[in-house]
Structure 1
Amino acid sequence: MTTRDPDEPDSLVSGEAAEYRALTEAIRDLIKVMHEGDIGRLEVERGDLRISLTARELIAPPTNGVQPQIPPAITAGPPPAAVPAPAPVVDDHLYVVTSPMIGTFYASSAPGERPFVQTGDEVEAGQTVAIIEAMKIMNEIVAEQAGVVEAILVTNGETVEYGHPLMRLRPLS
């Protein structure tokens, strides 16, 4: 028993059926070429056969007369220099290193590496204490003043927001 294409007209005999299948396969291939090549219109002529294909345009939803503002493209440049984290005072003796941006907190320069700082470590002013990854760029977070790390307030790989407290330091002087 043979299987029949449900789209194939009943009146076709076996030779015409093969020709019909070849033609529909060729049309599918042309549609694929149009889609992959971003082609809007395609015409093919062969003997007395002419095929004309036109891609449908996508209809955008109504905008109520307001066009969305598209920000300018950001061009890649050199990675930013170390960003000093603001250091708001928590009490008379401690200050907090906070995140200057939204991103992912990393305690070390690479997985499995020793953390930049640990609780109890002495930190110098300008020393890197963490990294915040934002948009695939690693931004060093530096201490604004010397101190001893009292507490690290986030875990490695945690997402942080602008101003999010990262660690508390007790000043040396």
Structure 2
Amino acid sequence: MPEKPTEPTPPFDVHVIHQLVRLMKRYDLMAIDLVEGPTKIRLRRRNETPVPAAAAPGLYAAPPPTAPPPPRIESTPAAPPVSDDAVIKSPMVGTYYASSSPDAPPFVTVGTNIRPDSTVCVIEAMKVFTDIPAGLSGKVTEVLVKNGQSVEFGQPMFRVQPA
């Protein structure tokens, strides 16, 4: 009896992807990266800006009304703050938690000295909690996210004065 060729199984269940799309809408996430073994999938939302309808052939659409431009106010833009601080960015999409449990103290606060292996926070994604290491030595000068806040991949979370 000849062997029946096996069909490759999809690396991600369609129902899981649908759930992730609903979570993206619910938490206003723009992208999610999924990795399972050698397979990588990125889900990205489109900007939901309405596209103007095209005029019917042979007809010309009236130009949209334009408001007069607002008066121009001359001012000197403030220079961005000069800082030698490094930034610790989120390595993943998820929910930021400052401590390992609601009643535990935060891993770091402003003024905390950290090492590359110091845990600075926990990020929860799909019910999995991941400890996030600092990756550098220094002193935390600013915490840029709030406990329970959704974070995107690459979003700055901490400013650190390098040691």
After TM superposition, the score normalised by the length of structure 2 is 0.50
Corresponding position of 2:12:
72
Corresponding position of 1:119:
110
Note if 1:98 corresponds to 2:89: yes
Please give the secondary structure, in 1, of the residue aligned with 2:158. Answer: strand
Q: Which runs of 5 or more structure 1 residues have no equivalent in the other structure?
A: 1-69, 78-89
Identity fraction in percent: 42
Partners of 1:147 and 1:91 in 2: CA distance: 18
Residues 20-35 of structure 1 aligned to structure 2 (within 5 Å): none
Corresponding position of 2:139:
148
Please list the CA deviations of residues 118-163 of structure 1 after superposition, one character each: whole Å capped at 9, or x if unmatched.
0011001111000000010001111111100000000000001111
Q: Which runs of 4+ in 1 moved over 6 A?
A: none
Amino acid paired to 2:141: E
Corresponding position of 1:133:
124
User: What is the number of residues matched between the two proteins?
Assistant: 89
Partners of 2:146 and 2:133 in 1: CA distance: 17
Identify, as 1 or 2, the structure richer in helix. 1
Q: Which runs of 5 or more structure 2 residues have no equivalent in the other structure?
A: 1-9, 17-35, 37-80
Partners of 2:148 and 2:108 in 1: CA distance: 15
Partners of 1:72 and 1:113 in 2: CA distance: 35
Partners of 1:115 and 1:98 in 2: CA distance: 17
Partners of 2:116 and 2:147 in 1: CA distance: 22
